[in-house]
Structure 1
Amino acid sequence: MSSAYLIAVGSNRRHHLYGRPRHVVRAALEELAALGTVSARSPIIASAPMGAAQRRFANAAAVMDSEYDPPALLAALKRMERQFGRRPGRRWGDRVLDLDIVLWDGGYWKGSALSVPHPDFRDRAFVLGPACAIAPGWRDPISNLSLSHLNARLTSPRALLR
């Protein structure tokens, strides 16, 4: 049985074949089709680095249907990251490719290596912005708020008053 997933895609390092991070993200969005049926791809945006990262990121999101359960999809996404040249490194450091499962139509998943929904997505405009472009009505199973509502909460000028 197939499940729907929202996948976040990011890069802030060049790739020897694809070039600049924006092109790495574009290639990764296409490669996701090897893991299921991609029904929507967001525009690619630029975002500021966070944590130890030094370079600006290119970010996007995709909605896909896959036969994989969440842990199997995570393993496949990690293999794809390695195929693109990602190496183990510092948390939030520069990377050729970062792929995260943000949401799953099955609701929650909690395991030793994976939590769905992604625990930090509600506080990341670089995830919510692209996600809203392709799935604004998808609801967070924890807050029951839509992605567009979460994004408005995060990016509204009044967000500082929360």
Structure 2
Amino acid sequence: MGGRVAVSQPSRVYVVAVGSNRRGRHGAPRAEVAAALERLGGLASPIFSSAPVGPSSRTFANAVTLVASPLDPPAMLARVKAIERAFGRRTGRRWGARVIDLDLVLWSGGAWSSPGLTIPHPAFRDRGFVLAPLAAVAPAWRDPVTGRRVRHLLARLTRPRRRRMGP
């Protein structure tokens, strides 16, 4: 038996944040997010609603999915950008209305930096619309930079702040 032995490539796990605040070919923003989650596969969070960041006035639908893939980060970025284009995403104004927005937030390989890609996503620690869905599916995932678990990052972001009362 001189057959070949199949060697599987190591699988990496990526956290992909998914957002929409504009109708597209799949329907309303929640339907766009649901369609993107289906296309990406993996373990998806529930879809949350969130207020817009920046000048947009439209409410966002947000979720995350944990995607296992043999792709390295630049190849995974190319995959999510291709999905955005297939959904009708066009480059434009930062924080403007968009049919779909896919961001690589974390991956099982820790930190990654190359031209055009930084993992963990530089702003994810300050974004409840990423942390809340992520806490629903992977609350114990650790931020490779701070060492904090997702549930702790979310708690730090959402806990009420005490106001200092005079000297």
Q: Common fold, TM-score beyond 0.5?
A: yes
The residue number in structure 1 matching 2:23 is 14
- Please, which runs of 5 or more residues in structure 1 have no aligned partner? none
- The Cα of 1:147 is off from its aligned counterpart by 0.1
Aligned to 2:129, what secondary structure does the other structure show?
helix
1:53-64 matches, within 5 Å, as: 53-64=56-67
- The Cα of 1:159 is off from its aligned counterpart by 7.6
- Please, which runs of 5 or more residues in structure 2 have no aligned partner? 1-9
The residue number in structure 2 matching 1:5 is 14
TM-score, normalised with respect to structure 2? 0.90
Q: Please say which structure displays the higher CA radius of gyration.
A: 2
Say if 1:62 and 1:159 are closer, same or farther in 2 by CA, change over 3 A: farther
The one-letter code matched in structure 2 to 1:124 is R
CA separation in 2, counterparts of 1:159 and 1:135?
29
Misfit runs of 4+, over 6 Å: none
Counterpart of 1:98 (choices 101, 111, 114) is 101
The residue number in structure 1 matching 2:3 is none
Percent identity between matched residues is: 56
* Count of residues in correspondence between the two structures: 155
Say if 1:3 and 1:54 are closer, same or farther in 2 by CA, change over 3 A: same
Cα RMSD (Å) of the superposition? Answer: 1.3
- Relative to its length, the structure with more helix (as a share) is 1
Aligned to 1:9, what secondary structure does the other structure show?
strand
CA contact (8 A) 1:153 1:159 kept: no
Counterpart of 1:121 (choices 124, 133, 140) is 124
The residue number in structure 1 matching 2:53 is 50
Say if 1:144 and 1:74 are closer, same or farther in 2 by CA, change over 3 A: same
- The Cα of 1:2 is off from its aligned counterpart by 1.0
TM-score, normalised with respect to structure 1? 0.92
CA contact (8 A) 1:11 1:95 kept: yes
